[in-house]
Structure 1
Amino acid sequence: EWISYLCETTTLVHNTLLSHPEAGDIINGRPVKPHSKRYMAFVYSGDKNVRCGGILIREDYVLTAAHCPNKRVILGAHDVTLREKSMQYRDVCNAIPHPGYNGTIMHDIMLLKLEKKVLKNKYINTWPIGASSGKVKPGIICSVAGWGETNGYNSELSPVLREVNLTVVSNEACSAAHPTARDKNVICAGTKNESTGKGDSGGPLFCGQKLSGIVLGGKNPSLFTDVSLYRGWIKSTMKKKKCKH
């Protein structure tokens, strides 16, 4: 069951653990050039070991997965064990999961309204939600970044942002590996040699210059929420939602 990928805590984080990490895994992925991905957000609950990725889509909104923690966000981060001058810390004043989310992979997407707008600079920038690019096709090479596990089962979480390239696989191959992923709201990418790990959930999947997915978890292949299906909800929600006080 997909729920086996989730930690049974109040702030659920996917327990997507790789038992046989190989050179292509994000677990052994390459560190990115510091601050080269200025849209990346580090999402956590107060305990940095309970973490996810996210993407800054507006100065006051981060997009992530609905099963992720929803208390605090750091922008401008590279090494999250340090207090870098580039970092801006923001509390989340309104966590808005998709109304159809029920704890499964269906509609596993969430907007985080920040209490205060982020100041854009050479370390931090937004990646606005553009027009729908449609479903990504099998065989396309995409990339994903995160601060997840570094070298295997229950291993250390990466202090620095890392990335790996993943190949999109067909719905048939995906549903064979993940029977609960038959719905068309997910993108599947990666193999036994390339995947995501614990702590990478919520981070963005880019195919070319298009924001295509949000990391859900899983392995061989990994699963991603298809962002193209939620652009209308994202835009309408950002227009009307305010901070909760």
Structure 2
Amino acid sequence: MNSVVSGPGPVAGDARGTSAGPAPDGGVHLAPKVGAARAALARLGARARQGDVGLLGGVHAYDPDVAATYRAAAVLVLLSPPADDGAGDGPATGAGPDLFLVQRSPHLRHHPGQIALPGGRAEPGDGDLANTALREAHEEIGLLPDHVEVLGELPPVLVPISRYVVTPVLGWTTRADLATRVDPGEVLHTIRVGVGRLLDPSARAAVTVRGHRSAGFRVPSGWVWGFTGNLLDHLFTELGWTRPWDTSREVAMAYDAVQGLIVPE
């Protein structure tokens, strides 16, 4: 049975601090070696099918009545062997598997300029939400669906600011080298980052925007925050990869009216 967790990155109206949180087996672990990472992602997908994963809470908590008024969408949590070597040394290099993110165009209506997982709104021809995630990833990062192994889906979550009910799809690829193109209308660039680097305690903080608080991860081009930050924080905890970090650390962001973007204060 699913249990509701408040989410390590508190969100609007939630005054609690972020939490590294123990792994499901009671420990806190580093990102594993690449082969183990794929297996862990597959196990998480199997647990989700059995209803044996925690549910993201707070403002993202799933409510079927609210979800009925939202539009369906999906994001792809895509992991791959690291770019530096196919063997992947995990904690020995501090990288582990790679995760794919995109930086959204500053001209988009929703979440302009934010760093996010590939994904978007469901279309009638998709068939299911896994296909939605694969189609959007192909459009945004250029990776064909045939090169992605779908390992499962996490329970749907709500994104009230854009009124989407989002299903996170878990994927693995060994052909990340083919992700070479971006959609210039939606994406500025693709970000490929080692999971171990995301989980480095020095790269973690609670990001605050206009009094709203979320889990944050530092990447070279900025901060992952908001829905994506909270989802990744929850995902890594469910996988047992989260490392202890200073949950009192905060990074304040502000709205830049000239750029129309959320930027560091």
Per the normalisation by structure 1, the TM-score is: 0.27
Larger radius of gyration between Structure 1 and Structure 2:
2
Structure with greater proportional helix content? 2
